[in-house]
Amino acid sequence: MLENLHWLDLLVLAVGFTIIMAIGINSARRSNSAEGYFLAGRSLPGWVVGFSVMATIVSSMTFLSNPAFTYEHDWRHMPANCTYLLAMVLALMVFVPFYRKLQVNSIYEYLEWRFGAWARLYAAGCYVLLKVAKMGVVLYMTSLALQIIVGAAVPLELVMVVFGVVVAAYTIVGGLEAVIWTDLLQGVALIGGGLICMPIICMQVPGGFTKIMEVAWEQGKFGVGDTDWTLLKVTLWATLFSKFMSFCQLLGTDQMAGQRYAAARSDREARQAVIFGCLLTIPVWAYFFLVGTSLFVRYQFNPDPAMEAMRPDQVFPYFILTQLPAGLSGFAVLGLLAAAMSTLDSIINAAAATATTDFYQRLWVTDRDPRHYAWVGRLFSLLFSVIMVVSALAIHFSRQSKAIEDLQTMLLSVLGGGLLGLFLLGFLTRRVDSRSALIATVITVVGVALWLFLDSEMGAARFPEIAPYVPDKFWVGVFANVVLFGLGYGASYLFGRPTADDCLKGLTVWEK
């Protein structure tokens, strides 16, 4: 059935999956409480947590889309990816110390202490919706690439179901400890799978690496995109600002990051995890960009008729399948799968932690034994795993994957666009109270929805005189957070500051 894979490749995959499942089973013994299941008992070394941060961020979308983008275009996203360093500084100065000091199980607990229950439930609800939407897309896109490798005789639906079940199994059983330790293995497979490919590409190009660089430079493959100063299209500046804001949001408002800060066994190791994860991630991004550029040059010297009907995101899997020796191609495939698994398992566990802590425990069952909440967390993990597989199948059978991705992008912009601004209002200001923050949040959400409407075909048809002047929606994440922060701070001068400084003790950078 798996006619495109040698038995050595299948052996490599079988060994990899066996180790992953063993980690999940072994971790289950220490995951019988809510803290054990969602925070790994707050006992893991920083370097392991940092590797998990890298493996989670460098998803299968990176494994596939980075080579695909540079194969088709240029390096315009790399400068923006380097803004991760600036986001890291903000995380080290603000997010890590606060979340560690407050000992939160969910980072959205902080918003309730600072602004009230509405802020916590709003942020947690947005987070769960966004992650549920993302899971199906990641599983679907990874399964498309995997089907190219295993062969068309294997139905795509079967690929999605089997892969989804494997990810769900060790995540449900082992909790965050299993997620982080398997992320270590998956990160090694991801990097190793990529490292295998470049030497082979270089050997297939006359003149090797030097020639690859020369040809790529001559053909503009190292460009950084449009540098015009305009808001009406995607430029280098739009990419820089939007990615910086996305990284800040990832490190400051994402439960996956909060869990990893808490999982480290000391404040020092939590900081080490952030630094190590960031400094490892950027070279990995750059390497996979280089793979795409090198593949472009390689197929210039060695044309393949099959490339004519192939999408850019299929080029790298096709190369793995056709050019890597038996055994090595299995390891590269394991790297592709590991990239997806490290993202999906983190999403499942973080969404389950949020649903359990911020909704089930906060609203309905408040005083049960920690083992009860671990059990509920496993049920939520099972639920989100089912949703992941069902949504991937829905994308496949609907034949409307692009429309669904556009809808999810819109949801991300509307629901998640201002979350960073809301958190920063809490951390960085003393005078903003719940009412001011709520007004700013409502106005921002409505404004983003209106922006996206005017940017749509329907909006352009209804308001043709306005639509040409609407900034590109790539800027939504930037403006939403800046506007929410500014509106909240401005509203505080109309409605006043919190009535007592005692209520802010330990909740801003100004109070210890």
| 194 CB neighbour count, 10 Å cutoff | 24
Q: Alpha-carbon distance 53 to 390, whole Å? A: 27
For residue 102, give Cα distances in angstroms to 267, 360, 475.
12, 21, 33
Which residues, other chains included, contact 312 with Cβ-Cβ below 8 Å and sequence gap of 6+?
68, 69, 71, 72
Q: Alpha-carbon distance 117 to 121, whole Å? A: 6
Spell out a b/e string for 469-483, using b for 16 or more CB atoms within 10 Å of the CB, else e. Answer: ebbebbbbbbbbbbb
DSSP lists the bridge partners of residue 264 as 44
Q: What is the DSSP string of 263-321?
A: HBSSHHHHHHHHHHHHHHHHHHHHHHHHHHHHHHHHHHHS--GGGGG--HHHHHHHHHH
pLDDT of res. 501: 57
Q: Which amino acid is at 87?
A: A
CATH number of 7-30+45-218+254-403: 1.20.1730.10
For residue 439, give Cα distances in angstroms to 227, 315, 436, 475.
36, 48, 5, 22
pLDDT of res. 487: 95
Q: Alpha-carbon distance 273 to 267, whole Å? A: 10
Report helix, strand or coil for 302: coil
Displacement of CA 341 from its chain's centroid (Å): 12
Q: Alpha-carbon distance 286 to 271, whole Å? A: 24
Q: Alpha-carbon distance 74 to 363, whole Å? A: 49
What is the model's pTM? 0.89
The domain locations on the chain are 7-30+45-218+254-403
| DSSP 8-state class, residue 155 | -
Contact 382, 43 (CB under 8 A): no
pLDDT of res. 120: 94
pLDDT of res. 1: 42
Q: Where are the beta strands (DSSP E) in 60-176?
A: none
**Tens-digit pLDDT profile for the chain (512 aa)?**
455 667 777 787 888 888 888 887 777 777 777 787 888 778 888 899 988 888 778 766 677 788 888 998 889 889 989 999 999 999 999 999 989 988 888 999 999 999 999 999 999 998 888 888 888 888 888 887 777 777 666 788 888 898 889 888 888 888 888 888 888 887 788 788 788 889 999 999 999 999 999 999 999 899 888 888 888 888 888 889 888 988 998 899 999 889 999 889 899 999 999 999 889 899 999 999 999 999 999 998 888 888 777 788 788 888 888 888 877 777 777 777 777 788 888 889 999 999 999 999 998 988 888 889 989 999 999 999 999 999 888 888 775 555 555 555 556 666 666 899 999 999 999 889 899 999 999 999 898 888 888 887 888 888 888 878 888 877 888 899 999 999 999 999 887 666 555 567 778 887 66
Residue 245 structure tokens: 């804001």
For residue 403, give Cα distances in angstroms to 48, 136, 408.
38, 14, 9
Pick the closest to residue 175 from 270, 259, 273 (CA basis).
Answer: 259
Q: Alpha-carbon distance 117 to 108, whole Å? A: 10
